[in-house]
Structure 1
């Protein structure tokens, strides 16, 4: 129990730390950031339950006002901005990534982690992100989709990185990849 709580806190902190990397704000108001890599790793390493809880802890800390999002953003105002859907989607994306990782035990860890990160950390996260963007800015789907095309190559790179990092961790310390335990 204590180990699980510590890992949830560590991965929430990892997601926060990835927000410190320089981000690039695009005209859409949605920055290019490394935090989605943290969400992917929450799922690929911790599994569905713990990964979702780590991302939920991160979102709760943001809601409490800690400036943990890229660019030092935090507080309830974040949930009224164009990135609202992504922030709300973090726990669901981490859970989905972990669930897929747990269901693909027959695949090598790196391959499973890359696939899980792409589906959970891109497809699921974008579903929430685009929906939130559309709601906040009162845009239609055909207006919102072209905005996010520019983010996909970077997110695919993050999914590959999540696969490589998880595979490396599994080789170095197999018991630490809880999605495979």
Structure 2
């Protein structure tokens, strides 16, 4: 079981290989990014609590859903002790159930791109702003722990302009669903 009260950089690799189900689609997570609150200039919570980012301040184990670039709905899972403003951005995954629904939402795209990138993953799962603050343990979201810990790597985050070299992007190597690769990854061994 994942302890969402741990910091985002510790929770992020534990999410890899887990499945998240919402609105008829299940995605196996293959790529996530950690955001460390007031210690991370790239975090939405770096400058403190606002109406928009309030869900990120807890409690942990809930969704933070926001509008990205005015068009895409992206999702994070809130972590760390309440009040710290940390979370893991859901960057990419493989659709493992609800394939027809995901294609209706995403259109005629290659299979590996159905949930590749935070906006596409959000569209495949039909994330909506009212989902903000929903627990990932049900009833609307179901996060299922993985059976086996996959190998994973870490490297720089994607699509940000602050603290971009921090190795806080985590992904399963060799997965076609993983988004743009940038920087040299550091190999990490999974914990038993």
Task: Normalising by structure 2, report the TM-score.
Answer: 0.27
Structure richer in strand, relative to its length: 2
